[in-house]
Structure 1
Amino acid sequence: MSLPAAFVRDAERLIPQNRRFTDALSTLAFGTDASFYRLIPKLVIRVESEDEVVELLRLARRDQVPVTFRAAGTSLSGQAISDSVLIVLGDNWNAKEIRGQGTQIRLQPGVIGAQANAWLAPFGRKIGPDPASINACKIGGIVANNASGMCCGTAQNTYHTLAGLRVVLADGTRVDTEDAANITAFRQSHGPLLEQLATLARQTRANSELAAKIRHKYRLKNTTGLSLNALVDFDDPLDILSHLLVGSEGTLGFISSVTYDTVIDHPNKASALIVFPDVETCCTAVTVLKSQPVSAVELLDRRSLRSVQDKPGMPAFVQQLSANACALLIESRAASRTLLHEQLGQIMASLAAFPVEKQVDFTEDPAENAKLWAIRKDTFPAVGAVRKTGTTVIIEDVTFPVEQLAIGVNRLIALFDKHHYDEAILFGHALEGNLHFVFTQGFNNPEEVARYEAFMDDVAQLVAVEFGGSLKAEHGTGRNMAPFVELEWGSDAYQLMWQLKRLLDPQGILNPDVVLSEDPHIHLKHLKPMPAADEIVDKCIECGFCEPVCPSKGLTLSPRQRIVIWRDIQAKKRAGIDTRELEAAYAYQGIDTCAATGLCAQRCPVGINTGELVKKLRARSADNVKTAEWLASHFATSLQGARFTLHVANGARMLLGAPRLTKLSAALTRASKGRVPLWTNAMPQPERAIRFSPQVLDARPRVVYLAACVSRVMGPAAGDGEQMSLQAKTRGLLEKAGYQVIFPDNLDNLCCGQPFASKGYTEQAEHKRQELIDALLQASRGGLDPIYCDTSPCTLRLVQDIGETRLDLYDPVRFIRTHLVDKLNFTPQQASIAVHVTCSTQHLGESQALIDIARLCSHDVVIPEGIHCCGFAGDKGFTTPELNAHSLRTLKEAVQHCSEGISTSRTCEIGLSQHGGIDYHSLVYLVDRVTHAR
């Protein structure tokens, strides 16, 4: 059924065309969240203001159109999808207000959880919720799902740390609990609604059996159903209303901002891994730890330990553990080291009587801590990585009363065996009795669906009925557990939830079939297919963790969406369906606008680099092989051609003037579909070829200087305050530090192969790379001398898969920190510096080192928020300039008071200078300026 014509017409008047999506590719891409369900929306709308949400809800109410709100789409239970209208957050939902030295923070729903904590870190504070997805999920979803996490427990979730809420109700009314004038007006306009809430609360508290049940249920971690505890915890109907919205999963209103009472983030912490001989001993130890000064206690059964035992960095003993072993990962935090050590002694004394199979003693070392927590964090992806292609990974989330945890664990394991989920693993937040279990599931035939149905029926009976636990502890009810809410809560509580839903959303337009559903089989419908697409991406679990670092997200597709669409194309092809239209759209949205820098792989739980898929697809259409071969074998001539092109462009600038050339160039780039590169004020002038004088060896230590082809061709822009070439500046800095600079022979013919690789010409790319490695071996006397490469992308390309080759390769950051810092005296400047950490610097593991070096050079260092990749991507800034512009759309405001920016990639600096409004240079310019030789 299509949407009402009146709704579509008025939505079109309200929302610009570039923020409305009805095409097959976009609706499929947005119809996917992290759950194992899929619905295809008829209309996707990207909203940029509260006013737009208000008007859309009024239209939806008028025409009875169901709407669903979407933040990051990392939810696991099917609460962020729709077959009607999906409203997704745009860019303008990232405001913050920090109050009282960080004791409170007001946030809009588009802020990523980890970003909120980064803002609070200087105050030694953080928000209470700490979900595993905190680097990707957004505040809107954290509040709407009442998300918790490993250290959060129940005391620090959103419900218990809520200081204020601003919400848009189903009728379009705005309610702001921190705005006195708004509240006065709301009490007048919605007096009957508030009175009904107050009446329901009085009736609930008067029903002693129901009130006791509610209090008991929220003693545990519980997100099943609506937050009925609001009715017993508060008298004021506004407090009831705001706390009902927490955990309501978009079924009662749109949360447009939240104010948190923050919690202390203690700086001193230590972790230990203790393995007990069996589940019973382990769970008994948990009950003892409940009263100890621990911040987190994570339980890992033998299956979960087995799933990660072969990973690098795992303690060797994990492989030899007995069949029934069960481990606890324990963390303690304190305000001081002295107090921490007291706590650790107290914790270990409390466990002294328990038999222990193996243990890793408490460590305060950050690297060792990270290794221990990797055991816990890698369990979920470990199951995803070994699953059969075509199946999905399901992670369920239940709570047992802690005193019955051991029996609950064993009963769950017995259900795995009964239903033949042999790969299933168990882990969880033991202090709360909160267990996650992960298993793989296919939905490709009725038998697989029936097995899942029987298993979930058994789990619901076990957890909700036999143990009086929670079927959803922290992942939200969604459509996954909606049919079991009444089983868990009983008829009175269930009917009360429906009363609240009908009171606040009388037409049922807000996220129908989520939390509450009249369809007892809703959890078995709209199951998401996971068809084979390509071995590079087949392990993708569609969690969305990759999305925050992707430069094309919001312009075209994110890595998750690229995989979703490619899976669909492959499945349709196998079914004999015509995919030409979909593939034509994918050529631009999926392939042309992918930066292919691989940052997504760093965030992906199973290490998928979607850029590798894109490069593979580019290689399929790379049909200019002879041209690529000619360029590779005549590379010096190619560079001369590039210099000539820059000469022509520079001449045109002088002849026409920059404003006219900018306009003309933009028109040509558009008309040629990117074949004619875009000229901007940041366009480099041509660089002269290096003039080599005979090198006479002396007593100074040698360094081989590999000037990348881009720095050999591209000089400073005409308007740049720095007019010395990167090569001259680098050579001067290296000599200042006492080095003799050596250049490889035949330098103008050398290239790492990156330009060929990014276009899909892998054979030519590898030939150039190997040729360069051979030249560097010769120049460095077989690897005796260090090799300095002046751009980090080239360094990364050379060090990848280098095997046994003995080359001591450095990017600028690593060379400066290891070889120059102790040879130079730094006098930091007062002027502010903006730092751009390139994708390659991140891959090389030098991000923090770059920031640390910048702080040696300047008293004020700015790292713009939310810019992980500039999107220039080699030459994309010339041929697909909208990718660069989109990725850097927030840069100018972030760096407007900075005197200059620094980076480690010449091409990145072109886009950064253009969109930042300040000159960006290589790090060496800054280091040279503020240092003198010791």
Structure 2
Amino acid sequence: MLQGAYRLFHQAIVDVIDAKRVFTDPLSTLAYGTDASCYRLVPKIVIQTHTEAEVQAVLAQAAALKLPVTFRAAGTSLSGQAVSDSILVVANHGWKDLQVLDEGRAIRLQPGVIGAAANAALLPFGRKIGPDPATINSAMIGGIVSNNSSGMCCGTAQNTYQTIKSLRLVLADGTVLDTGDAASVAAFRQSHAGLLTGLAALAARIRADGELEARIRRKYKMKNTTGYSLNALVDFADPLDMLLHLIVGSEGTLAFVSEATYHTVEELPNKASALVLYPTIKDACDAIQLLAQHKDVVSSAELLDRASLRSVENKAGVPAELKTLGDEAAAILIETRARDAVALAAQIDAICAYIAAIPNLSGIRFTDVAEEYTRLWNIRKGMFPSVGAMRAAETTVIIEDVVFPIEHLAEGTLKLQALFRQYHYDEAIIFGHALEGNLHFVFTPNFSGDAEIKRYEAFIEDVCKLVAVEYEGAVKAEHGTGRNMAPFVEMEWGAAAYRIMQELKALFDPDGILNPDVIITHDKLLHIRNLKPIPTANTLIDKCIECGFCEVMCPSRAITLTPRQRIVANREMAALEQSGKDPSRLDALRESYQFAGDETCTTCGLCESACPVGINTGALTSQLRQQNLSDTGRALANTLASHYGTATAGARLGLRALQTVQSVAGNAATGVLMRSLRRVVGRRIPYWTPYFPRAASKLRLDGGKPGERKVVYLPSCLTRTFAPAKAQPDQRPLNEVVASVLGKAGYQILYPQQMDGLCCGTPFKSKGAVDAAASKLSELEVALLQASDNGRWPVIVDNGVCTASMLEGLQDKRLHVYDVTRFVHEVAAEYLAFTPQSESVALHVVCSMRKTGQPAMLNALAKRCASKVVEPQGITCCGFAGDKGFSHPELNSSALTGLKAQVKDCGSGFSNSVTCEIGLSANSGIPYQSLMYLVDKACRSR
């Protein structure tokens, strides 16, 4: 229950912002109280904003009541700058606008745009944004700007500070400033003359202090995100330019960034990489010093210490020679990029010559083969998750981020390793963007007791003294200051510079309401307060490091919980249950979790594909559904499994009744009727759209002409139950379309016996009825063995979800199961001639086939059949999840946000799961059907 000023704030804000986007319940506030850092603060109020006006309203009310406000986008930040115990303003799902400008030479982005999505939009122009953080597939522009993110290749030349063109901001007083708009700038110069004058005065103070000015210039030759961007005060003469560049890296403490326009950089298409092994880390650092003098040809050089190499040496695809290295060994992973192959070859020769005199263990062997250099970079990318996956229970994964001046890289690295030994962080590894002197180190402290926290405190203190004082480096190179290094900003910069930073904060935010304690703090122990607990909860999720990489893949991410948030909730519930404390809070979390955590989880498992430690949160949901299934539910599932043919016949009967209503009343009246019934009866009444399927008639099983080539075809239970809706362009049942294609390829089709009762078990498994699912799968296996002459003939299935389930679950290795799309593309295509249709089509890869690496195959098949194939960006699982699109249509709609705009120029869409196609059609503005309809239209017999 909110008290005092927070209650008043909430009452005021729900009058301006939809109450459905303002959260105060225990589950939502807990879920948003976690970012990728080692801190947890539970906000009192979470607000999902969609517009500048909403942000202005929040700031106005917060200022009036003196309540702190923190801004958050993806929450992948590592230093605690995106958590709050007050008001948390989330700017992600409602902030996705993107506009490519000037033939790709610039791009305008809202804060919720993912970095990789910006690059995807720029790819046709041969351009990209400058920052290339390792989190680019998850991190959003709001955080990339606010943290001045860099990465493996961008260095200091192409980070946000150097490539920003303009920003649109909401200041603490609610003023909107667009630095790219002349009228907005002119008005701001009048209304905020005091702020601009104050910036000019601070810049003049720095120029009057020659030692300080020189120090600022020297420190920003390195990567540096400790404190505010003081270089803005020495790089520019106009206070407006100073303001623009001060916002970069200010971590939401000076203003809210509502839009960023970047100058883009060229994406060089030719690449080559080499992994060079050295006998000692000093040898590797000596080579890096030479490479750092030639950044015109060296795009990246990653230093890897022996411990980091050891963490991945047993993984598949890793060179065997890593296991033979001595304890002092190290490596450099070098990349060079060029516009063409000739220039690339010349650069490789030059790099080899630069470091030829440094003794190495492996030779210097570059590869420009994409598969090979990708394997090398996967070694580097696998180090952080390897430590995370191998860590002890209840430990936290921390990745720190320091810079040594390049000339001191070797000695600094050796002293850092000595600190690991001194404090017994024996699992610690070092790797990093060594061209810039930037090192990351990963270690796994346990914050469960005071002694461990004291050890961590002393270790961090000594690291900061080593880096910032002894070598005048930076304690934060690219991860931002956050709460983590706020107590050490003055240590790094000195009293004079720190005082200027304090005055900057006061100029922009005189009431101190924007993200207090981040960057500037009076609390010298802030970095060891509110440390995040990592209790054991379930072996399926205990290795989670709460990084948030999974969230971009999750279909429920915009309406309820993400995989990370489901894990956070389960950890909290497990801890409360184990402790016996606060049973009312535990009950409240469980009650809310039923809908937010269970009902709206599609169990698609795509989160696993983005998770650095390979966690499938869908498996957790499936396990919980199995455990929570009642005896009555289990008995009902077994009964349905035993009478499956009767159940599907009943479904067809219901569909025919609905067809009758539709044919008499029309679409509009049918929609009104079904919505009215849902309001009365609830989710048991399916959500109806004009793409709702009709009842399938008795299948006409065309076996084709007898021949040498035979195939067993299992029409899925959906094909046997559903026929295309009247709104679909091709009214033929899917099985007839598949038979047509196979007939053109000269195949005789065999069908399993007693097909009406066959099922792969997926509908039962998704509800937790694993016994019924196993029974159906076993029954199916027997039928397929009989139909295929004990595996002599291949088996094809017309639904991608069913195919994946069968490939995973069938035990008899004699069976060769294909999705029909894969069979046509890889086998039957030999006997077919394709004529691409002159049309633009949309393609959706269902989640089960995406997980099994089929997108490229489906895209290639579609391109055989159509002149242009569009795969929309950011659309992962469609959210229909078997039948959830009928019961929870909001999940389907949310998962497909942004689809309609991306397919507006397409005449039709294709996929390979009929229920997915229902939801895709309803939410896209174009009809979706099985890809086999397009194949049939485009192919003929050879």
TM (norm. structure 1) is 0.98
Deviations 1:158-202 (A, max 9, x none): 001111111111111111111111111111111121111112112
User: For residues 293-308 of structure 1, what are the structure 2 equivalents within 5 Å?
Assistant: 293-308=297-312
- SS of the aligned residue for 1:358 comes to coil
The separation in 1 between residues aligned to 2:689 and 2:179, in whole angstroms, is 48
**Cα offset for 1:609?**
0.5
The separation in 1 between residues aligned to 2:329 and 2:230, in whole angstroms, is 38
The separation in 1 between residues aligned to 2:793 and 2:74, in whole angstroms, is 48
The separation in 2 between residues aligned to 1:521 and 1:797, in whole angstroms, is 52
More moved, 530-539 vs 740-749: 740-749
Query: Of 313, 321, 326, which residue of structure 2 is paired with 1:322?
Result: 326
CA contact (8 A) 2:336 2:347 kept: yes
Deviations 1:625-645 (A, max 9, x none): 222112222222222122222
Query: Of 615, 627, 632, which residue of structure 2 is paired with 1:620?
Result: 627
Alignment partner, residue 12 of structure 1: 14
The separation in 1 between residues aligned to 2:908 and 2:336, in whole angstroms, is 42
Alignment partner, residue 391 of structure 1: 395
Alignment partner, residue 136 of structure 2: 134
Pair 317,669 (structure 1): closer, same or farther in 2 beyond 3 Å: farther
**Cα offset for 1:425?**
0.7
Query: Of 657, 668, 671, which residue of structure 2 is paired with 1:648?
Result: 657
Alignment partner, residue 597 of structure 1: 604
Alignment partner, residue 776 of structure 1: 784
Residue 680 (str. 1) matches residue 714 (str. 2)? no
- SS of the aligned residue for 2:378 comes to helix
Deviations 1:138-157 (A, max 9, x none): 00100000000001111010
The separation in 2 between residues aligned to 1:570 and 1:222, in whole angstroms, is 40
Q: Which amino acid aligns with 2:689?
A: T
**Cα offset for 1:670?**
4.1
Alignment partner, residue 145 of structure 2: 143
Alignment partner, residue 567 of structure 1: 571
Alignment partner, residue 316 of structure 2: 312
Alignment partner, residue 524 of structure 2: 520
**Cα offset for 1:325?**
1.1
CA contact (8 A) 1:3 1:84 kept: no
Deviations 1:3-52 (A, max 9, x none): 35543332121111111001111111111111110111111111111111
Alignment partner, residue 829 of structure 1: 837
Q: Which amino acid aligns with 1:55?
A: A
**Cα offset for 1:223?**
0.3
Alignment partner, residue 377 of structure 2: 373
**Cα offset for 1:831?**
2.8
Q: Which amino acid aligns with 1:774?
A: V
Alignment partner, residue 542 of structure 1: 546
Deviations 1:98-151 (A, max 9, x none): 222211111111110000000110111100100011000100100000000001
Deviations 1:811-838 (A, max 9, x none): 2332222123343222222332111111
The separation in 2 between residues aligned to 1:574 and 1:752, in whole angstroms, is 38
Pair 681,898 (structure 1): closer, same or farther in 2 beyond 3 Å: same
- SS of the aligned residue for 2:842 comes to strand
More moved, 878-887 vs 551-560: 878-887
Query: Of 903, 909, 923, which residue of structure 1 is paired with 2:917?
Result: 909
CA contact (8 A) 2:777 2:810 kept: no
User: For residues 112-127 of structure 1, what are the structure 2 equivalents within 5 Å?
Assistant: 112-127=114-129
User: For residues 712-727 of structure 1, what are the structure 2 equivalents within 5 Å?
Assistant: 712-727=720-735
Alignment partner, residue 226 of structure 1: 228
Alignment partner, residue 886 of structure 2: 878
CA contact (8 A) 2:825 2:861 kept: yes
**Cα offset for 1:697?**
7.9
**Structure 1: 5+ residue runs without aligned partners?**
none
Matched residues, number: 933
- SS of the aligned residue for 1:435 comes to strand
Pair 403,774 (structure 1): closer, same or farther in 2 beyond 3 Å: farther
The separation in 2 between residues aligned to 1:425 and 1:38, in whole angstroms, is 25
The separation in 1 between residues aligned to 2:900 and 2:337, in whole angstroms, is 39
Pair 2,400 (structure 1): closer, same or farther in 2 beyond 3 Å: farther
- SS of the aligned residue for 1:928 comes to helix
Deviations 1:252-292 (A, max 9, x none): 00111111111111111011111101101011010111133
The separation in 1 between residues aligned to 2:407 and 2:444, in whole angstroms, is 29
CA contact (8 A) 1:278 1:325 kept: yes
User: For residues 10-409 of structure 1, what are the structure 2 equivalents within 5 Å?
Assistant: 10-292=12-294, 293-358=297-362, 361-409=365-413
**Cα offset for 1:848?**
2.1
- SS of the aligned residue for 2:663 comes to helix
Alignment partner, residue 466 of structure 1: 470
Q: Which amino acid aligns with 1:870?
A: C
Residue 809 (str. 1) matches residue 817 (str. 2)? yes
Deviations 1:767-825 (A, max 9, x none): 22232233323323333322221111111111125567133222233222212334322
The separation in 2 between residues aligned to 1:906 and 1:839, in whole angstroms, is 13
User: For residues 729-740 of structure 1, what are the structure 2 equivalents within 5 Å?
Assistant: 729-740=737-748
More moved, 645-654 vs 297-306: 645-654
The separation in 2 between residues aligned to 1:486 and 1:803, in whole angstroms, is 64
The separation in 2 between residues aligned to 1:765 and 1:737, in whole angstroms, is 34
The separation in 1 between residues aligned to 2:321 and 2:782, in whole angstroms, is 43
The separation in 2 between residues aligned to 1:826 and 1:541, in whole angstroms, is 48
Q: Which amino acid aligns with 2:498?
A: Y
Pair 782,246 (structure 1): closer, same or farther in 2 beyond 3 Å: same
In percent, how many aligned pairs have the same letter?
A: 52
Query: Of 460, 470, 479, which residue of structure 1 is paired with 2:483?
Result: 479
TM (norm. structure 2) is 0.97
The separation in 1 between residues aligned to 2:781 and 2:336, in whole angstroms, is 48
The separation in 1 between residues aligned to 2:17 and 2:390, in whole angstroms, is 44
- SS of the aligned residue for 1:441 comes to coil
**Cα offset for 1:716?**
0.6
Residue 607 (str. 1) matches residue 609 (str. 2)? no
CA contact (8 A) 2:760 2:773 kept: yes
Query: Of 410, 415, 419, which residue of structure 2 is paired with 1:415?
Result: 419
Alignment partner, residue 846 of structure 2: 838
User: For residues 652-671 of structure 1, what are the structure 2 equivalents within 5 Å?
Assistant: 652-671=661-680
CA contact (8 A) 2:561 2:597 kept: yes
CA contact (8 A) 2:700 2:736 kept: no
The separation in 2 between residues aligned to 1:868 and 1:488, in whole angstroms, is 44
Query: Of 733, 749, 757, which residue of structure 1 is paired with 2:757?
Result: 749
**Structure 2: 5+ residue runs without aligned partners?**
none
CA contact (8 A) 1:102 1:123 kept: yes
**Cα offset for 1:370?**
1.6
CA contact (8 A) 1:159 1:243 kept: yes
- SS of the aligned residue for 1:14 comes to coil
**Cα offset for 1:894?**
3.0
CA contact (8 A) 1:251 1:511 kept: yes
